[in-house]
Amino acid sequence: MEIAGTIKTATEREKLYRKYKHLIKTDQKLDRTLVSFQANKQEALYRWFKYKEGFSKRLVKYFINKYHPKVGHILDPFAGAGSTLFAAKELGWDATGIEILPVGIFAMQARLASEKVDGKEFAKTIKEVWRKFDINKTPMNKLKNIPITKGAYPGENEKLLNLYLEHCNNISNADIKTLFKFAAFSILEEISYTRKDGQYLRWDYRANRSWGKTKFNKGKIYSFQEAIEKKLNQIKQDLNPVVNLELFSNNKQNWNKEPSLNILEGSSLEMLPKLETNSFDFIMTSPPYCNRYDYTRTYALELVFLGYDDEAVKNLRQTMLSCTVENKEKYATLRSTYHNLNKLPDFEKIASVYNSCGAMQEVNYQLQKLNHSGLLNNSNIPRMVKNYFLEMAFIIFEMHRILKPNGSVVMVNDNVRYGGEEIPVDLILSDFAESFGLTIEKIWTLPVGKGNSSQQMGNHGRTELRKCVYVWRKIAG
């Protein structure tokens, strides 16, 4: 898709800032302890596997209570490990989530399985598995590593992991089997040379493949037995509701019926257009940020564990929402999705909203200019940014369509900066939302250290980037 526009300054972004300035407010309650995954660390499952991109269940409850206390049907089109879905279910909501990364899907399936497993039965299975476990055996099947995971495990760890998985296959109770596999899945980082660090997967120098300038030492690398025993015991403890009522906060209330929890596996870009119009009361979500973060590299060990080969990992990367420099344009695929659903007018409308957003054109233009001057540290950044917003325009259009009148969207996202150029993700996405008929109620910002961001949108010094929670409402009628 061609980018229109020849704007040379930050004028369009400043215009947008002035338009929404009165709605940008700091909520002092939105500190790290409420928003981030860290707040979940006392929760069962969340402490079994750390899905660091997740947000806290308390945050979900905070916004549901604030904006839609009346129970209904909630959607999270980027469900991750399911914070939205499980928190809302605890409040009695029916919940639907869409997720493309099998890592999040497996975490949600394990969570569902855990609700059906009896702690005593689980403890009995641990004993049985260890009784039969013979570390001198050679596993029949092996994980099929891909180039970016080769040599990830020291010593006997990989062999023992393979042996353990063979034992798991003999467990007859499907839910217990899922939890046993999930236990191994949750320790892959601990028993490997790798660590999920900020933007990428770091390798310990002991793996002899450390390419960085600095020698990275991740500290203790656990043996498979040590790590798996610890994990299984943790799960056992959390499954025992008498001992751990507080941790396992599946606080069922007096519902007329058990709320449903529905996980749809695949891309929201494909699935949202197929959902019924006016069918959800509330959407709470956090899409990938426009920050080059590559989920498929960070979770490479977990993807291999789940049977993904090199080709499948690359395909997955391309189908995820564009947020890495490797993502290629999905314009033609999106067009054919809408064409097949007889929804080409929607497609044209979305593309036109994208093209008529002045701030979007300005960002695209500025990034291309920086690129031509060699001022971006990767030449694909303009493509990534352009496609991120285009794809988000499709997501926002669909969110508006499937929300019931008076329903709200609550979206967590961060602003970004490339080559010194600030990209006001909050303002551009809100502008799209407004064009599709949503009312912008609030752009909540997280409190920051040195005062909030200023009006400067272009390359005029380094201002603090806003971390936001947007609240949009579908107007009735």
Ligand X SMILES: C[S@@+](CC[C@H](N)C(=O)[O-])C[C@H]1O[C@@H](n2cnc3c(N)ncnc32)[C@H](O)[C@@H]1O
Please say which residue, 74 or 457, places its beta carbon nearer to ligand X: 74
Please say which residue, 98 or 393, places its beta carbon nearer to ligand X: 98
Q: Which of residues 255-274 bind ligand X (CB under 6 A)?
A: 267-269
Please say which residue, 53 or 189, places its beta carbon nearer to ligand X: 53
Residue whose C-alpha is closest to residue 163's, from 191, 138, 196, 143: 138
**Residue choice 51, 153, 182, 472 for contact with ligand X (CB under 6 A):** 51
State the nearest-atom distance from the C-beta of 364 to ligand X, in Å.
Answer: 21
Please say which residue, 60 or 113, places its beta carbon nearer to ligand X: 60
**Residue choice 54, 273, 407, 424 for contact with ligand X (CB under 6 A):** 54
Q: Can you list the alpha helix ranges (DSSP code H) found in 287-343?
A: 295-298, 300-305, 310-319, 331-340
Q: Which residue has the tokens 């352009």?
A: 386
State the nearest-atom distance from the C-beta of 136 to ligand X, in Å.
Answer: 39
What residue is closest to ligand X based on CB? 80
Whole-Å CA distances, 114 to 55, 99, 239, 262, 459:
20, 20, 7, 16, 50
State the nearest-atom distance from the C-beta of 296 to ligand X, in Å.
Answer: 9
Please say which residue, 86 or 224, places its beta carbon nearer to ligand X: 86
> Are the beta carbons of 270 and 337 closer than 8 angstroms?
yes
Show Cβ contacts of residue 207 under 8 Å, excluding neighbours closer than 6 positions: 151, 152, 154, 193, 194
Q: Is 160 in the site for ligand X (CB under 6 A)?
A: no
State the nearest-atom distance from the C-beta of 385 to ligand X, in Å.
Answer: 16
> Are the beta carbons of 8 and 365 closer than 8 angstroms?
yes
Annotate each residue in 309-338 with x if it binds ligand X (CB under 6 A) or - if it does not, as one string: -----------xx-----------------
Please say which residue, 412 or 443, places its beta carbon nearer to ligand X: 412
In eight-state DSSP terms, residue 208 is S
Distance between CA 418 and CA 413 in Å, rounded? 16
Q: Work out the angle between the directed axes of helices 381-402 and 358-372 (0-180°, nearest 10).
A: 160
Please say which residue, 87 or 176, places its beta carbon nearer to ligand X: 87
Q: Which of residues 69-108 bind ligand X (CB under 6 A)?
A: 78, 80-81, 83, 98-101, 104
- Tokens at residue 302, please? 């977990």
**Residue choice 157, 286, 361, 364 for contact with ligand X (CB under 6 A):** 286
Whole-Å CA distances, 82 to 16, 79, 85:
33, 5, 5
State the nearest-atom distance from the C-beta of 279 to ligand X, in Å.
Answer: 18
State the nearest-atom distance from the C-beta of 405 to ligand X, in Å.
Answer: 25
Whole-Å CA distances, 161 to 122, 182, 249:
19, 12, 31
Element at 65 (helix H, strand E): helix 57-67
Please say which residue, 50 or 137, places its beta carbon nearer to ligand X: 50
Please say which residue, 24 or 98, places its beta carbon nearer to ligand X: 98
**Residue choice 86, 180, 248, 295 for contact with ligand X (CB under 6 A):** 295
Q: Which stretch binds ligand X (CB under 6 A): 47-55, 165-173, 339-347, 467-475?
A: 47-55
Question: SS3 for 237?
Answer: helix
State the nearest-atom distance from the C-beta of 100 to ligand X, in Å.
Answer: 4
In eight-state DSSP terms, residue 337 is H
Show Cβ contacts of residue 413 under 8 Å, excluding neighbours closer than 6 positions: 286, 287, 289, 425, 426, 429, 468, 470
Strands (E), 163-316: 194-197, 200-203, 261-265, 280-285
- Tokens at residue 414, please? 């961060």
Number of residues interacting with ligand X: please give it, by CB under 6 A: 22
Interface contacts to ligand X, rule CB under 6 A: 51, 53-55, 78, 80-81, 83, 98-101, 104, 267-269, 286-288, 295, 320-321
